[in-house]
């Protein structure tokens, strides 16, 4: 304890003798470490924001669309249109063991009228599993249930924008009856406000959701329709890390049923949010590593400043070093003193830099941030990595001055004159 007090006293005395030089040296270390922490936290923040945005659509979600073949297979010509149908959903449920959930979706556009107003809206026919795959937050009521689907009931869930259009700000509209294409539908659910910046067929707040069986019966597509026709199939892989294998299973089942080559990527389109998330994370990780390397260079320059100030300290204390050696101080003790002194200087500066970065992170939590960038999450891993880099640089910077001090002989040191 006495040794540490003496050491901190020496560091403080060295800093106070050269205030400007010491300030600039400490500022370089502090800025370098703060830059590393802020840049890595910025990358983590963007990844969190992107992940949250994808969750607003649906977590680990894949959406399958029909397309056109580019390869000939099964005696079929290239350019054949692939149209999805309900039997595809049943086959995926039965055969694709790497798929945990699958549901159909049929889309259209309808006119809806309430006792107060009317409008034109997109409508989606879905099954109860849809709400487990997609993120459909409800402010009131419930989602479509198995009995609604089996009985092809005329019930609906309306988005917040639909509710505003049809009912304005009137409360307690749950259970109201609205007319959809002149047919009566009971409102069983009203969506909550939802931040959404990704979609494959429009914003959910502007939609009406009805049971798939009801949609197929009451609002079949006008341009093309055969029994069981679908616009999309939605599924979730059983394990996130097996999304590619699950996707291959789905392609093989659909290729067999529609007579196309499973290697033909244009026959069906699959938008896999797991794959998208990995690509985005890769971009942010590469950007973060590049910028963190630049910040590391800045921190290294701060380390050179520490080396410089320690060399000056050795020069100023040469006679003291000679006296201590003459009184019996070992070379190892002299070297340890200066090495620890340089590290204390570096870590004191690094602590200031980390405090600045953490303070900025805390301040941003008090400010409304866009969904794409929720803030600067300073994690324990980021802090550990920054101080690990600082440790290496601090030791490397203090080692040369410490070695120089330890190498002085008592006679040489005592004869030294500045």
Q: Tell me the three state secondary structure of residue 233.
A: strand
Q: What is the pLDDT of residue 64?
A: 93
- Specify whether 262 is located in the same domain as 362: no
Q: What is the pLDDT of residue 70?
A: 83
The residue from 246, 272, 298 where one domain ends is 272
Q: What is the pLDDT of residue 248?
A: 93
- Residues 103 and 131: their CA atoms lie apart, in Å, by 10
Q: What is the pLDDT of residue 94?
A: 92
Q: What is the pLDDT of residue 252?
A: 93
Count of CB atoms situated within 10 Å of the CB of 85? 17
- Specify whether 35 is located in the same domain as 131: no
Q: Dump strand ranges (E) for 259-416.
A: 268-272
**SS3 breakdown of the chain: % helix, strand, coil, rounded to 5?**
55, 15, 30
- Specify whether 233 is located in the same domain as 307: no
Q: Spell 284-318 as b/e; 16+ CB within 10 A means b.
A: beeebeebbeebbebbbebbebbbebbeebbeebb
DSSP single-letter state for residue 77: P
- Specify whether 268 is located in the same domain as 388: no
Q: Tell me the three state secondary structure of residue 211.
A: strand
With contact defined as beta carbons under 8 Å apart, do 209 and 135 qualify? no
- Specify whether 95 is located in the same domain as 27: no
- Residues 375 and 367: their CA atoms lie apart, in Å, by 9
Q: What is the pLDDT of residue 414?
A: 54
Q: What is the pLDDT of residue 321?
A: 66
CA of 81: how far to CAs of 71, 77, 265, in Å? Answer: 12, 10, 13
Q: How confident is the model over 23-44, as pLDDT tens digits?
A: 777 777 888 888 888 888 888 8
- Specify whether 70 is located in the same domain as 125: yes
Pick from 42, 33, 28: nearest CA to 379:
42
- Report the 3 state secondary structure along 240-297: HHHHHHHHHHHHHHHHHHHCCCCCCCCCEEEEEHHHHHHHHHHHHHHHHHHHHHHHHH
With contact defined as beta carbons under 8 Å apart, do 92 and 250 qualify? yes
DSSP single-letter state for residue 171: S
- Specify whether 309 is located in the same domain as 352: yes
Q: What is the pLDDT of residue 412?
A: 59
Range of 35's domain? 2-55+278-414
- Specify whether 267 is located in the same domain as 282: no
- Specify whether 231 is located in the same domain as 293: no
Pick from 322, 316, 314: nearest CA to 342:
314
- Specify whether 243 is located in the same domain as 290: no
Q: Spell 59-69 as b/e; 16+ CB within 10 A means b.
A: bbbbbbbbbeb
| Statement: the pTM of the whole predicted model exceeds 0.75 | no
- Specify whether 225 is located in the same domain as 98: yes
| First-last CA distance in the chain | 33
- Specify whether 306 is located in the same domain as 203: no
The residue from 249, 272, 295 where one domain ends is 272
Q: Which residues of the chain have pLDDT under 50?
A: none
Number of domains the chain is built from: 2
The residue from 227, 256, 272 where one domain ends is 272
Q: What is the pLDDT of residue 357?
A: 87
């Amino acid at each position: 304890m006495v040794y540490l007090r003496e050491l901190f006293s020496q560091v403080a005395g060295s800093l106070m003798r050269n205030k400007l030089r010491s300030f600039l040296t400490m500022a370089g270390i502090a800025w370098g470490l703060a830059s590393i922490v802020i840049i890595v936290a910025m990358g983590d923040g963007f990844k969190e924001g992107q992940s949250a945005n994808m969750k607003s659509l649906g977590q680990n979600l894949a959406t399958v669309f029909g397309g056109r073949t580019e390869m000939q297979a099964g005696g079929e010509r290239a350019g054949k249109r692939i149209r999805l149908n309900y039997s595809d959903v049943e086959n995926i449920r039965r055969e694709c063991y790497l798929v945990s959930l699958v549901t159909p979706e049929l889309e259209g556009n309808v006119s809806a009228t309430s006792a107060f107003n009317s409008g034109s809206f997109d409508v989606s026919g879905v099954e109860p599993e849809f709400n487990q795959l997609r993120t459909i937050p409800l402010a009131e009521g419930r989602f479509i249930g198995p009995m609604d689907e089996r009985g092809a009931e005329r019930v609906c869930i309306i988005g917040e924008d639909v509710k505003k259009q049809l009912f304005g700000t009137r409360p307690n509209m749950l259970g109201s009856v609205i007319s959809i294409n002149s047919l009566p539908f009971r409102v069983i659910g009203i969506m909550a406000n939802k931040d959404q910046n990704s979609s494959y067929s429009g914003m959910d707040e502007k939609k009406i959701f009805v049971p798939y069986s009801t949609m197929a019966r009451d609002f079949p597509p006008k341009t093309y329709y055969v029994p069981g026709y679908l616009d999309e199939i939605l599924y979730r892989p059983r394990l996130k890390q097996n999304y590619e294998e699950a996707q291959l299973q789905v392609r093989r089942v659909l290729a067999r049923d529609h007579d196309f080559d499973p290697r033909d990527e244009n026959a069906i389109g699959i938008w896999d949010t797991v794959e998208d998330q990995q690509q985005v994370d890769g971009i942010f990780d590469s950007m973060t590593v590049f910028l963190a390397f630049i910040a590391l260079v800045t921190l290294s320059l701060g380390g050179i400043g520490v080396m410089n100030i320690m060399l000056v300290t050795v020069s100023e204390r040469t006679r003291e070093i000679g006296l201590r050696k003459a009184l019996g101080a070992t070379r190892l003790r002299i070297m340890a003193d200066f090495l620890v002194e340089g590290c204390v200087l570096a870590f004191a500066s690094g602590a200031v830099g980390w405090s600045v970065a953490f303070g900025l992170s805390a301040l941003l939590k008090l400010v409304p941030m866009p969904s794409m960038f929720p803030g600067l999450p300073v994690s324990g891993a980021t802090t550990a990595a920054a101080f690990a880099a600082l440790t290496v640089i601090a030791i490397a910077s203090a080692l040369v001055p410490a070695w120089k001090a330890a190498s002085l002989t008592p006679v040489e040191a005592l004869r030294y004159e500045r």
